[in-house]
Chains A and B, each alone.
Chain A
């Protein structure tokens, strides 16, 4: 298949894909969701969530490197059998398709409530999804390049805003650093924060296309640590600025954070529209990468020749999943369910495939 030629993706692009996929809707919700569970220890929860993701990511890469010519869809179907492997593949692709919609929905809700007050939600969703459609028709090389450019555009504004926010921190609100409620809330928060790290599993589709597969570990770590650091700083800054109690009353805590942060600049008075503009890029890369993964995954499961055939077919499903929740509250419930489902799916898959490798022989690389 044309998708998996070696050398289509450089390592930097690989790291860019991971980082861009992670940084997205998570930044919008993270501060309120996690502090609700683990209080001032929220940053620890994020750290734990991050570590779990890193371990899972490394395991996935380890799995992928055992089959340097195949993606997870293909070796999955070969390792187990057509049905189990296919089912796991379909589960992954469906869930990717679903979170494409959910991410776009979350962002559209924020747009409607902050800057585009009179625009219908559906129109915003459709505009974003059409852009995603245009993106997903590209070749993997172009996907890699786009992610490479956007890495800078996504991370720099976020970091800039956060460091300016650091000045507003009131230390009393940040302490105690451990949350003071024991270990359980922090662990629970860790699971909750997992949503913000979702998306890293799409790399399992791209490992065969890497230029230098040896560097996969190295660059995937670089890719995932960047958002981890950004998340932790987001947590500390938003807790430090608002405090745990006030955070619970804010719908879009990160947006409020930018509203209260004074920016040194004379030309513009309020910066949130500008930051929302950068956020569009962040959300776009997440939704687009995940949607692309879903399309490519389905293509490989059903052994189609070209992924372009599916791009338009799957888009209405993504749109449906974006429109499905009635309101913001519904969206958050879906997010919770998806997070648990995804965590379960990723862990089960890794266990099943490693077990299959163990049973079939250590290398698992013997092909007919």
Chain B
């Protein structure tokens, strides 16, 4: 009995499936009769308001029925009027030019329509997907073959300045939500036939366009294949943004550290592509994903390479310092104050003790109070509109901090420590890395509370074991430090002069290592002298 009910249920589910429009589009077939086809399509799309169906006669009076279907808002109406309706209705179909019936499709394709990109399809699913992508479908009575005419055109944000990766000196354009604009921005920077932009569409409902960009004959093909495979294995209904893709294809999930870099700068993407990395562009997201990456990339900013190398190196050292401070400063303060006050010079120790004399809490309570306050402030200021946000910053940081000190809840030194810590975390160039180090700070603070410096070091040891175990698409996260690649070490903490970066990163195992082609160029492209 039980078996039967299960079987019945399965049958029920299977029969219900045809109610799903997506399944129906796969199952049903186009016929020759226009009316039936239109009914089928309208049935599947469900008479949505934004779908426009326009029926007409070819040439206006030939008696051959035809119809166009398009989605309002995704298409350029001007193009439809000028380049589809006008030639079909008025211009080309005067009585004597009507060809034999069998040739109408060919005639329309070759002599009538003035649209630059068109496909002839006979599959219903393809047709419907095309309409939903913004193409205009043209159906002619008596034919299974239908046209998909590229009339895509919708409102889009124009290219603006990058928000999170601003530079003083360097290009000011950034990616937008529009897929094609983004690929074009990369193509504009690498005008070489070897640049490959491979499209794929992911998401059962969202059908999001994703492009995998790499340089043919340069990028390690195993990395490209791995990324392609992981992306095409994604089985999900909706791709919300590139962050979704990132989390679905990364190597390790249980870590705060990002294993793909997201950047909104096309110039950076171009540079990464030419190092031998792969870029992933997701429609609807103004960020490109870069893989594989190593931890040293988080020290880098686009600007490093735009200024002279001494300046770039200096900035990187400062950023390294920022990471160390952002991660360890509160923990260090706790351990020094609670466990090792003998470390600091006497005068300073006295000043610390003086500041702390009125505070009723131990150093760690004090530290946790004010760091949590700082986190609240940050979160609050992100949610608020710009002008109010800065007010909150001033109110929070100045007034609450000042009041907390004069109310003897925290010592002034603690405020300095946490403020420095926060400033340092803003100096880390990559947002997701900054958050990762901000999170690591808390376990370290707890360990420092229990064991002092000993605990802090144990925490750092655990962190380094964790980092040593991470991988980004097969590349160990700590490359080139461990496993060491001496050739790549120069471009990590310091930024070497451009002329000394003669080779692409070793660990990416590119096919064409040389960056300078002083002797024989092996990329098959003539160098102009």
Contact = CB atoms under 8 A, between A and B. Distances in A.
Interface of A: 10, 12-13, 111, 115-116, 119, 124, 127-128, 131, 134-135, 138-139, 141-142, 144-146, 148-150, 266-271, 273-274, 276-278, 280-281, 284
Interface string B423-452: 000000000000000000000000000111
Contact of B343 (A127, A148, A269, A284): A269
A148 B451 contact: no
B454 A280 contact: yes
Contacts of A10: 483-484
B342 interface: yes
A127 B465 contact: no
Given A12-B484, A269-B345, A273-B343, A146 B455 contact: no
Contacts of A149: 464, 468, 478, 481-482
B465 A138 contact: yes
B454 A142 contact: no
Going nearest first, the 7 A-B pairs with the smallest beta carbon separation are: A145-B482, A148-B482, A145-B468, A280-B457, A269-B345, A273-B340, A142-B469
B163 interface: no
Contact of B461 (A13, A131, A139, A142): A131
B483 A144 contact: yes
Contacts of B457: 277-278, 280-281
Which of A13, A111, A115, A281 has most B Cβ within 10 Å?
A: A115
Interface bin, chain B: 20 to 34
A268 B343 CA distance: 6
Contacts of A127: 450-451, 454-455, 458
A115 to B, nearest CB: 6
Given A12-B484, A146-B482, A150-B464, 8 more contacts: A115-B340, A116-B454, A124-B451, A134-B462, A142-B469, A145-B476, A146-B464, A270-B342
A270 B457 CA distance: 18
Contacts of A281: 457, 461
B344 interface: yes
B377 to A, nearest CB: 29
Interface of B: 339-340, 342-346, 450-458, 461-462, 464-465, 468-469, 476, 478, 481-484
Contacts of B465: 134-135, 138, 142, 146
Contacts of A12: 483-484
Contacts of A145: 468, 476, 478, 482-483
Contacts of A135: 461, 465
A276 B454 contact: yes
B458 A116 contact: no
A142 B346 CA distance: 43
Given A269-B343, A269-B346, A277 B484 contact: no
B446 to A, nearest CB: 12
13 contacts: A12-B484, A115-B339, A115-B454, A142-B465, A145-B478, A149-B478, A150-B464, A269-B342, A269-B343, A270-B342, A277-B453, A280-B454, A280-B461
A131 B345 CA distance: 32
A149 B395 CA distance: 44
Nearest to A265: B345
A281 B454 CA distance: 10
A280 B454 CA distance: 7
A266 B343 CA distance: 11
Contacts of B478: 145, 149
Nearest to A211: B483
A24 to B, nearest CB: 14
B308 to A, nearest CB: 28
A304 B157 CA distance: 60
Contacts of B481: 148-149
Nearest to A148: B482
A300 to B, nearest CB: 22
A146 B346 CA distance: 37
A362 to B, nearest CB: 36
Which of B453, B456, B462 has most A Cβ within 10 Å?
A: B453
A268 B341 CA distance: 10
Contacts of A148: 481-484
B455 A13 contact: no
B311 to A, nearest CB: 26
Contact of B454 (A111, A144, A146, A271): A111
B452 A268 contact: no
A9 to B, nearest CB: 9
A148 B483 CA distance: 7
A119 B338 CA distance: 12
A268 B469 CA distance: 34
A116 B468 contact: no
A267 B348 CA distance: 9
Contact of B458 (A131, A142, A269): A131
A237 to B, nearest CB: 23
A131 B346 contact: no
A343 to B, nearest CB: 30
Which of A13, A131, A277, A281 has most B Cβ within 10 Å?
A: A277
A127 B459 CA distance: 10
B453 A276 contact: yes
Given A146-B464, A276-B454, A138 B342 contact: no
A364 B453 CA distance: 51
B483 A119 contact: no
Contacts of B469: 138-139, 142
Contacts of A150: 464
Given A131-B462, A145-B478, A269-B346, A115 B453 contact: yes
